[in-house]
Structure 1
Amino acid sequence: MAKPVVIVVGAGLAGLTCARMLQRAKVTVRVLEASDGVGGRVRTDVVEGFRLDRGFQVLLTAYPEPPRWLDYAALDLQRFFPGARVRRAGRFHQLADPLRRPLHAARSVFTPVGSLADKLHVLDVWKQAHAGEVEDVFLRPQKTSRAYLRDVGFSDAMVEAFFQPFFGGIFLEKQLRTSSRMLEFVFRMFSSGATAVPARGMGELTAQLAGKLPQGSLHLNTPVEEVFGHRVRLVSGAREEADAVVVATDGRAAEDLLPGLPPRPTTGVTGLYFAAPEPPVRGPHLVLNGEGHGPVNNLAVMSEVSPAYAPAGQALVSVSVLETGQEAGALEARVREQLTEWFGAGVAGWRLLRTYALPRALPLQTPEAFEEPHRRVRLSPGLYACGDYRENGSIDGAMVSGRRAAEALLSDLELPLP
């Protein structure tokens, strides 16, 4: 009996995870990727010796799904300090995880980033987020993240100074309209493990997944124009048929390929990378804008986290702005003005390496979007869809959706799970 053939459209995290599981089950897989490389939104570009992730991203080692597919030792993960430096009242203040860095946390008790009561409320969130199993988080009653933080008892000052830039930088929206289920999930992940990046950039995640696929199964520069049943038509006009098709693109691209798929709003970010002669912040720290004004939401000196991100003797500064659509030159000027206020006149000598405008960086994750914790991956006989918009907007969510699509497909083909 001939082995089944499956076409996977898209070589991002979801598509590659799906393809890996199918390949383990002895299914012949053809992965069709429109661009010139794997990774989708999880790619790293090398520019003048600097490694630029396509938007600031991190891997939370507590995520349940990635360890099933990734070799963490081979990734050589480099860790951030468990906490953040917050710009507030004209100065930088260190906040630390009170459970993992109790001495650092004790020193921050009297900083102007929230009151003592606010800092004690962090333990309340910890208890709620860690109650039960991880999956239970997505079944709880929900509200917006802002309402959740208010109901826990945090002051407006604490929300503005810390939670808005911290969770806003994760959810890519300042209003904190994201579901409290997602807030609890992310809080649990941050507080249970390390926040890290592969030594040579986030693109190593998808490169490692793709490297385990059989030779000849991955086809780059192969954009798909249309999907109909278990057949696809390429932009070139060629048609390909298989036993099943999995659409593993982002949500907007999936809507184009699959008419009738309910639309899912997205949210975006603009990332700017600067080469600096020396790091403006020493150590592997996330820096948050807790002052509530200016374009910069968060900043990290990536070469302080992993020296491989920059050539020797230079520093790579990653800046995230929670807005898209502004003219690049005008945005750079605003960012430089704010960073000069933070770090001094030396910012004028920083060299802009690249600006990434990413209007579709994440699905918008409001409470309404989480009414169905796991969106169906089987659309019709022989047709499946996966991606973070079908699970949750995280590395873990993308990979879970890829696995779920493969499981549904193998079940329909009456093949055993690997």
Structure 2
Amino acid sequence: MLEPAYQADVVIVGAGVAGLSAAHRLTSAGVTTAVLEAAHGVGGRMSTEKVDGFRLDRIGQLLSTAYPELRLTPGLDGLGLRPFAPGVLLHSDGRRHRAGATPANTRSAPGSATGGAARSTRSARGALHAVRALASAPRPAPRPTALPRGGTAPLGTAVDQARLGAALARIASAPVERLLARPELPAARALAARGLPARTIDGFLRPLLAALLCDPELTTSSRCADLALRSFAGGRLCVPEGGAEVLPELLARSLPPGTVHTGVRVTSVSTNTVTTAEHGEFRCRAVLLATDARAAAELLPGLRVPDFHQVTVVHHTTDEPPGTGTALLLDADRGGPVAHTAVLSHVDPSRAPAGRALITSTVLGPPPPDVDTAVRMHLARLYGTSTTRWETLAVHHTPEAVPTMRAPHDLRRPVRLLAGLYVCGDHRDTSTVQGALHSAHRATTAILTDLGAAGSMHRADPLPATRAA
């Protein structure tokens, strides 16, 4: 026999970062909330596999310290961010060149320290304070990056580099509204119309944007590409300390006990009812779908399902790490399947046991037939060292990793379908963690407006006993 119907003001379907951040905003406003997740853990695509003391991200999207929602989302005060070195390393013609460092992303970032693999100890709360400082600091025009002695950087001449530096400085300080008002084109076409030399575009902007957008062909809307460049130029690329799963787990742990229920499969939704396979109906005043786009469309036929970018992440380990420090390494020549790679244990030592290095590499688009062999051969060229003795820890292929954002792309897709029924996620905004968090922010604002003052919220009946995250 099913238990009787249970009540909450808002039922959220999905315990990814969008659903969990929405739950924080609602509970903070006095709205009783239940989060239902079909899987046996929270996080969705932000998952981390544990193998012999290693922490291996399944997708490993790059974050930026300039993401506003990392500062604005309740529950993330304890988030630790581990930054890459300023800018990126570009591999071109057998040499590596540092590029893209700006005054904003050169400043000391949370958890960073100079001197190779050395690390300073920092508090989790101090990390968010540093993020706020990076985002609010003035951004003077950067100095041109010096050419490496004995080689030519893949950015063109020193004058070309100065023009690129000035362009990055301008976009770092440009209001978002101004970027969104620009004519919208596919990113590849827009770059060609910006007046930068072809060498600078092909040698730096193309590989950088491919890594930031998970889009090797740059079919993404130029407005989304501009937002990605703005975050890159105005902050520091980073990863969550301890793995991608730390971000959703932190949100889940800081919610009131009993808010999140895992292992609960939702079969149908309406404006005031959620039906589950395990516990019958949940009666509520509003429903928020915070699943991925395909799962949302299965519950609400007619919702748009976008195309997706495929992502394959390959994790290797060795006891003799390459000497690239904490840099993110890109292939400007596109000479193999790897779009970007890093010695991730140098960036975040908690991801590998002592004495071992974790090298994480990302392949965009359909992977080659023997992906590990192809990746090893490419990494040998990128790092300038033999990879034959490296041990493969995992190969994670995700066919629907990141929703595409082809032009024209609506960055503010409606989150309010009708009174009582709402939807959020990276498929309603930009296909980033920032987009997922921002869409949740918009959805909860709409819910609170429709439900009225928090003081009118009722006291919910107890929810059924399910596994809590």
Which residue number corresponds to residue 392 of structure 2?
A: 352
Alpha-carbon deviation of 1:81?
0.8
Query: Superposition pairs for residues 226-305 of structure 1, below 5 Å?
Result: 226-236=268-278, 238-305=280-347
Per-residue CA distance 1:97-136 (angstroms, 9 max, x = gap): 1435568922449633021243233234325524542344
Q: 1:139 to 1:12 in 2, by over 3 A?
A: farther
Matched letter for residue 45 of structure 1: E
User: Normalization by structure 1: what TM-score?
Assistant: 0.91
Alpha-carbon deviation of 1:259?
0.3
Verify: 1:361 aligned to 2:401, yes or no.
yes
Q: 1:73 to 1:306 in 2, by over 3 A?
A: farther
Matched letter for residue 437 of structure 2: M
Alpha-carbon deviation of 1:7?
0.8
Matched letter for residue 376 of structure 2: R
Structure 2 CA distance for aligned equivalents of residues 365 and 92 of structure 1: 31
Which residue number corresponds to residue 194 of structure 2?
A: 152
CA contact (8 A) 1:3 1:27 kept: no
Structure 1 CA distance for aligned equivalents of residues 285 and 69 of structure 2: 27
Structure 2 CA distance for aligned equivalents of residues 274 and 257 of structure 1: 39
Which residue number corresponds to residue 375 of structure 2?
A: 335
3-state SS of the aligned residue for 2:229?
helix
Matched letter for residue 196 of structure 2: F
CA contact (8 A) 1:121 1:152 kept: no
CA contact (8 A) 1:58 1:202 kept: no
Structure 1 CA distance for aligned equivalents of residues 347 and 100 of structure 2: 17
Structure 2 CA distance for aligned equivalents of residues 298 and 317 of structure 1: 11
Structure 2 CA distance for aligned equivalents of residues 323 and 39 of structure 1: 23
Alpha-carbon deviation of 1:22?
0.6
Which residue number corresponds to residue 188 of structure 1?
A: 230
Matched letter for residue 69 of structure 2: E
Verify: 1:382 aligned to 2:428, yes or no.
no
Structure 1 CA distance for aligned equivalents of residues 77 and 419 of structure 2: 39
Which residue number corresponds to residue 407 of structure 1?
A: 445
Q: Unpaired segments of 5 or more residues in structure 2?
A: 1-5, 107-141, 458-469
Structure 2 CA distance for aligned equivalents of residues 128 and 141 of structure 1: 17
Verify: 1:60 aligned to 2:64, yes or no.
yes
CA contact (8 A) 1:282 1:304 kept: no
Structure 2 CA distance for aligned equivalents of residues 313 and 331 of structure 1: 27
CA contact (8 A) 1:64 1:396 kept: yes
CA contact (8 A) 1:56 1:318 kept: no
Matched letter for residue 403 of structure 2: P
Which residue number corresponds to residue 111 of structure 1?
A: 152
Which residue number corresponds to residue 207 of structure 2?
A: 165
Q: 1:48 aligns with which of 48, 52, 56?
A: 52
Q: 1:343 to 1:62 in 2, by over 3 A?
A: closer
Matched letter for residue 91 of structure 1: R
Q: 1:53 to 1:237 in 2, by over 3 A?
A: same
Q: 1:108 to 1:142 in 2, by over 3 A?
A: farther
- % identical equivalent positions: 35
Matched letter for residue 398 of structure 1: A
Structure 2 CA distance for aligned equivalents of residues 13 and 72 of structure 1: 11
3-state SS of the aligned residue for 1:202?
coil
Matched letter for residue 361 of structure 1: A
Q: 1:132 to 1:95 in 2, by over 3 A?
A: closer
Which residue number corresponds to residue 13 of structure 2?
A: 9
Verify: 1:88 aligned to 2:92, yes or no.
yes
Per-residue CA distance 1:3-31 (angstroms, 9 max, x = gap): 95211011111111111011011111111
CA contact (8 A) 1:161 1:292 kept: no
CA contact (8 A) 2:266 2:277 kept: yes
Verify: 1:25 aligned to 2:67, yes or no.
no
Structure 2 CA distance for aligned equivalents of residues 131 and 338 of structure 1: 36
Per-residue CA distance 1:225-266 (angstroms, 9 max, x = gap): 222333222244733221111000111221112101123222
Structure 1 CA distance for aligned equivalents of residues 153 and 383 of structure 2: 20
Which residue number corresponds to residue 80 of structure 2?
A: 76
Matched letter for residue 405 of structure 2: Q
Q: 1:84 to 1:135 in 2, by over 3 A?
A: same
Which residue number corresponds to residue 264 of structure 2?
A: 222
Alpha-carbon deviation of 1:163?
1.9
Per-residue CA distance 1:336-364 (angstroms, 9 max, x = gap): 12223344664111111111112222221
Matched letter for residue 240 of structure 2: P
The structure with the largest helix share of the pair is: 1
3-state SS of the aligned residue for 1:105?
coil
Provide the aligned length of Structure 1 versus Structure 2. Answer: 413
CA contact (8 A) 1:114 1:158 kept: yes
Matched letter for residue 62 of structure 2: V
Structure 1 CA distance for aligned equivalents of residues 69 and 327 of structure 2: 26
3-state SS of the aligned residue for 1:288?
strand
Structure 1 CA distance for aligned equivalents of residues 291 and 76 of structure 2: 25
CA contact (8 A) 1:118 1:153 kept: no
Matched letter for residue 121 of structure 1: R
3-state SS of the aligned residue for 1:347?
coil
3-state SS of the aligned residue for 1:242?
strand
3-state SS of the aligned residue for 1:78?
strand
CA contact (8 A) 2:15 2:37 kept: yes
Structure 2 CA distance for aligned equivalents of residues 178 and 128 of structure 1: 21
CA contact (8 A) 1:63 1:189 kept: yes
User: Normalization by structure 2: what TM-score?
Assistant: 0.82
Alpha-carbon deviation of 1:282?
3.3
| Worse-superposed segment, 393-402 or 95-104 | 95-104
Structure 2 CA distance for aligned equivalents of residues 247 and 393 of structure 1: 17
Q: Unpaired segments of 5 or more residues in structure 1?
A: none
Q: 1:386 to 1:148 in 2, by over 3 A?
A: same
Structure 2 CA distance for aligned equivalents of residues 375 and 95 of structure 1: 35
Q: CA RMSD in A?
A: 2.5
